[in-house]
Amino acid sequence: MSIGKCLVRRSTYVLTEPIIIIRILLLPIILIVVHHHFIVKNPAPKPKMSNSFELLTGPINEIQRKYEILSDLVTEYNGKVHGSQSHISSNAISLVVYYEVPEGKREEVKQRFNNHFVYNNQQNYR
């Protein structure tokens, strides 16, 4: 009895083309990949994000320190820093840093960022 290019003899397949062997061997792998992609991978929905920016001004070394602190805070809240624009005049620089954090966390990030510098300024005056 013939089925396509395969012959059936006593419940055993005699394959007549090597391409069929490859298809039969790969079928379980393809099924696992399809199952994993469509059923197992069900990512959690992404949280809504709030966008904001900070204007950092001062000498370059101070801007660098402020940028690093802001970047660390944004990362701590699972946010992202998107970019910046700078304006240089004499020995000072102004840097606008755009970022996003999960909705409802923007004010907390701003407050922690500002408190960091208020606390440090108070320590410097003592």
Domains of the chain (ranges; CATH) run: 2-40 (no CATH), 49-125 (3.30.70.260)
HSE, side-chain direction, 13 A CA sphere, residue 59:
2
Phi, psi of 94 (to 5 degrees): -115, 130
What pLDDT is stored for residue 6 in this prediction? 46
Sheet holding 2-3, edge to edge: 2-3, 6-9, 12-15
The model's confidence at residue 2, banded by pLDDT at 50, 70 and 90, is very low
What pLDDT is stored for residue 122 in this prediction? 57
Which residues, including other chains, have CB under 8 Å from residue 67's CB and lie 6 or more apart? 56, 84, 95, 97
Alpha-helical segments (H) within the chain: 18-35, 60-76, 106-125
Is the CA virtual torsion 108, 111, 117, 119 positive or negative?
negative
Q: Please provide the average confidence, as pLDDT, over all residues in the chain.
A: 75
pTM: 0.60
Q: How far is CA 109 from the centre of its chain?
A: 19
Phi, psi of 52 (to 5 degrees): -160, 180
